[in-house]
Chains A and B, each alone.
Chain A
Amino acid sequence: DAKTTQPTSMDCAEGRAANLPCNHSTISGNEYVYWYRQIHSQGPQYIIHGLKNNETNEMASLIITEDRKSSTLILPHATLRDTAVYYCIVRVVGGNNRLAFGKGNQVVVIP
C-alpha cells in the first residue's frame, strides 16, 4: 500500500549534491513524508521527515512542494557511504504509526 513513486535507480557523483525525487500525488492532509535509507545488509535508517515546510538536519534536506504532491531529498555532499536504497514513505501519524515501504530508489555514488 505504498503511496509514493520513486526512480528505480540513479547515480550520483561523489562530492556533489544528490537530489532524490519522490512523487506522492495522493497525499492527504494528515500524512507526513518520511525518508529512510538502507545500506546493504543493514536495517533501514531514518533520515528526515516533514509535513509541508522544508526541513534540514545533519544528514539531509527535505524540500516539499507547495501542493505537497512531490518532494526532493537532498544529500548536500554525497559520499561513497551514501550508496544505499532510499525510501520515500507517506505516513499517517496516529493509529499504528507503521511505515509502508515501496521498492525504493537504489542510489549509487560514483567516485
Chain B
Amino acid sequence: DTGVSQNPRHKITKRGQNVTFRCDPISEHNRLYWYRQTLGQGPEFLTYFQNEAQLEKSRLLSDRFSAERPKGSFSTLEIQRTEQGDSAMYLCASSLYEGLEPLHFGNGTRLTVT
C-alpha cells in the first residue's frame, strides 16, 4: 500500500513536553496538508506545503507549533511545551498540485497530553 503514512499512531505525553509527528505522503504528491481533529468535530486545517515551501498557516497554528518539509518529501509537525488542549488527532494529507485532485489522508497520530 503506497498511501499516506503517519507515525506514530498514538502518542501520550506529559504537559510541557515536546512532541514530533512524521508524515510520509504518496510519493509523487507535491502538496502536503496538516489537519487537527478533536472529538466530535470535523478535521480543521492547520497548514500546507507545496514541495518544500510552507504556503499557508491557519490561525489555529500557534507559535508552539512548527511544521517542516525539508526536501519536499516527508513532513514533520512539532508541538513544543504541549498543553492538554493539544490533545487531538493530527491528520496529514497529500495531493497532486492539480485543481480537482482529491486529498488523500493518512490514519493520523492521536496525541494525548496528560
Taking Cβ atoms with an 8 Å cutoff, the residues of A that contact B are 2, 32, 34, 41-46, 49, 85, 87, 93-94, 96-104
Tell which of A43, A45, A49, A101 touches B42, judged by Cβ atoms closer than 8 Å: A101
Q: Does B40 contact A (CB under 8 A)?
A: yes
List residues of B (39-79) whose CB comes within 8 Å of A's CBs: 40-45, 48, 55-56
In the complex, how many residue pairs between chain A and chain B have their CB atoms under 8 Å apart? 56
Q: How far is the CA of A41 from the CA of B37 in the complex (A)?
A: 11
The dominant DSSP class at the A interface is: loop
Taking Cβ atoms with an 8 Å cutoff, the residues of B that contact A are 4, 31, 33, 35, 40-45, 48, 55-56, 91, 93, 95, 97, 99-108
Q: Are A98 and B48 in contact (CB under 8 A)?
A: yes
| CB neighbours of A103 from chain B (8 A) | 40-42
Q: How far is the CA of A100 from the CA of B33 in the complex (A)?
A: 12
- Give the nearest-CB partner of A46 in chain B: B102
Closest 9 CB pairs of A and B: A101-B42, A43-B105, A46-B102, A93-B99, A44-B105, A43-B107, A101-B43, A98-B45, A42-B107
**CB of A101, distance to nearest CB on chain B (Å):** 3
| CB neighbours of B44 from chain A (8 A) | 101
Q: How far is the CA of A99 from the CA of B105 in the complex (A)?
A: 11
Q: Are B33 and A102 in contact (CB under 8 A)?
A: no
Tell which of B4, B40, B93, B100 touches A93, judged by Cβ atoms closer than 8 Å: B100
Q: Are A98 and B105 in contact (CB under 8 A)?
A: no
Q: Are A32 and B100 in contact (CB under 8 A)?
A: yes
In the complex, 12 of the A-B residue pairs with CB atoms within 8 angstroms, ordered by the A residue number, are: A43-B4, A43-B91, A45-B105, A46-B104, A49-B100, A93-B99, A93-B100, A94-B99, A97-B101, A97-B103, A98-B45, A103-B42
